[in-house]
A and B are shown apart, each in its own frame.
Chain A
Amino acid sequence: MAQHPVIGYVVWAVLFGALFAWEGLALSHISGVPTLSDAFRAIMRYPFGRWALFALWLWLGWHIFIRGWHFLLRG
């Protein structure tokens, strides 16, 4: 595995932590902030928003499941 500066990992951890914290706050109805579902619903009202989200989903799936794919769990 390639060596990267720790700060890079910390930034990712903080970003994901903030995402979960924001979602938790929204779901607890404390502050009236929109949940991720609300945000996605607002984006998906428009065709271009749906295309962008689908493109994002494809990009993620392509990177995770298709690129460099080999037989399931081959060591």
Chain B
Amino acid sequence: MSSSLLRQDVLPVAVGYLLLMGALAAGLRLTWRGGHPPAPARGGATAATRDGPAGTARDGHPAAAGWLRLVRHYAGTAVGGYLLLMAVVVLYYYGVARVGGPFIRSAFTGCALLIALSAPVFALASWLTGRRRSRAGRRHADPPAPRATP
């Protein structure tokens, strides 16, 4: 690894990562010290994120409905965000900065590639979270049977 790569790429990323993690750790520590319980999800959470992808833990809906809702929510956000960014890129770079051709093509294909790469990871993370929640819910629903005492 060349020294310029270390200096220009690895070092700034590492410093940024340490700063961010340090700030988060300090905040958590202060929160715990103050005796504040972790904040529950507030009104901003959407139905899909609130219920989890499985959709069974709280409202008793079938799992498929929860997944369908999550997929619809994700697709709406991804398509809307992609179109919004492309509109801004085309308007600014083509209309104002006069940078066209390969740059704009790279924006279209690069952002699409990013979505294609991140979607499976997001789906896997959602599935793991849903599984963990449903396991935790089952554990709370079935408390250990009381011991028979003479």
Contact surface of A with B, Cβ cutoff 8 Å: 1, 20, 23-24, 27-29, 35, 41-42, 44-45, 47-48, 50-55, 57-59, 61-62, 65-67, 73, 75
Residue of B45, B78, B88 touching A54 (CB-CB under 8 A)? B78
> Closest Cβ of chain A: how far from B124's Cβ, in Å?
18
The main secondary structure of chain A at its interface with chain B is helix
CB pairs A–B below 8 angstroms (20 shown): A20-B23, A27-B31, A28-B30, A42-B44, A45-B44, A47-B80, A50-B77, A50-B80, A50-B81, A51-B77, A54-B77, A54-B78, A54-B80, A55-B81, A55-B82, A67-B106, A67-B110, A73-B1, A73-B5, A75-B1
C-alpha gap A62/B78 in the complex (Å): 14
User: Does B147 belong to the interface (CB within 8 Å)?
Assistant: no
Q: Is the CB of A66 within 8 A of B81?
A: no
- What residues on B are CB-neighbors of A66 within 8 Å? 106, 110-111, 113-114
- What residues on A are CB-neighbors of B149 within 8 Å? none
A-B contact count (CB 8 A): 84
Chain B interface, number of residues (Cβ within 8 angstroms):
36
Contact surface of B with A, Cβ cutoff 8 Å: 1-2, 5, 8, 19, 23, 26-28, 30-31, 34, 36, 42-46, 76-78, 80-85, 88, 106-107, 110-111, 113-115, 118
Residue of B8, B26, B106 touching A24 (CB-CB under 8 A)? B26
Q: Is the CB of B114 within 8 A of A55?
A: no
